[in-house]
């Protein structure tokens, strides 16, 4: 059972998300908070697996709350940002704060449930438009693909990495490459280890720098 702390300043919206997540027998909302300061207290009390966090809230915003929650040594939760806003600054600040995933509130219900389950396993899942923002940001930094060393990867691992760079989730990559989702997940974990990367977001950025998707 995945234990969720739901953080949003709108009561009605929290109720809707809670009802949506409650349809999945593997997910349970164990607590709610209406601002970042309350989220800090609830995260310490309830020890959730995933904190579903809004950004713009009174008293303390979601980015600062994310930063503080993830700094706590006893914390074992991953933070999934769920917000209306796709402002570049907020996207980058949330990821720098340590958020595992970043979804917009107009994402399909299945994508939200999938993102929650991925976050519980420490796997990043980003909305396609957010992935594109990260890629564009990396490109604007003037980084050259010549400094990207992928020599440790096999051909199949390169194909999987290309899918991550395109913003595909494990199910989509598995279907395209005729792999099982479990095998795809293993490939992604192996690639992260080989390249010394922290998460899927860093892998997507590196795939962009290496221009792995340029032949599509």
Q: Which domains does the chain have, with CATH numbers?
A: 2-125 (3.40.50.2300), 145-209 (1.10.10.10)
Instruction: Tell me the mean pLDDT in the region 189-208.
Output: 82
Let me know if 132 is exposed, middle or buried by CB neighbors in 10 A (0-12, 13-18, 19+): middle
- Summarised one tens digit per residue, pLDDT across range 48-68 is 999 999 999 999 999 999 999
- Asked whether the predicted pLDDT for residue 74 surpasses 90, the reply is no
Residue 26, SS3?
coil
CA distance 112 to 213: 26
Model pTM?
0.67
Quote the pLDDT of residue 38.
97
Rounded mean pLDDT of 181-205?
85
- Per-residue pLDDT averaged across 65-73, rounded? 89
């Amino acid at each position: 059972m995945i234990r969720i702390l739901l953080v949003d300043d709108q009561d009605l919206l929290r109720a809707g998300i809670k009802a949506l997540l409650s349809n999945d027998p593997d997910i349970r909302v164990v607590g709610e908070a209406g601002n970042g300061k309350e989220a800090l207290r609830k995260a310490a009390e309830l020890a959730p697996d995933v904190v579903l966090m809004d950004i713009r809230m009174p008293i303390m915003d979601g980015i600062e709350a994310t930063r503080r929650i993830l700094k706590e040594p006893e914390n074992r939760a991953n933070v999934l940002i769920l917000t209306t806003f796709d402002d570049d600054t907020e996207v980058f600040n949330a990821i720098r704060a340590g958020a595992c995933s970043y979804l917009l509130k107009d994402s399909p219900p299945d994508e939200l449930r999938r993102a929650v389950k991925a976050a519980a396993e420490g796997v990043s899942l980003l909305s396609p438009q957010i992935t594109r923002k990260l890629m564009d940001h990396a490109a604007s930094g003037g980084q050259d693909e010549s400094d990207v060393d992928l020599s440790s990867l096999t051909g199949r691992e390169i194909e999987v990495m290309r899918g991550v760079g395109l913003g595909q989730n494990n199910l989509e990559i598995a279907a395209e490459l005729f792999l099982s989702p479990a095998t795809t997940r293993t490939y992604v974990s192996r690639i992260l280890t080989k390249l010394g990367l922290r998460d899927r977001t860093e892998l997507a950025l590196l795939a962009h720098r290496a221009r792995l998707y340029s032949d599509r």
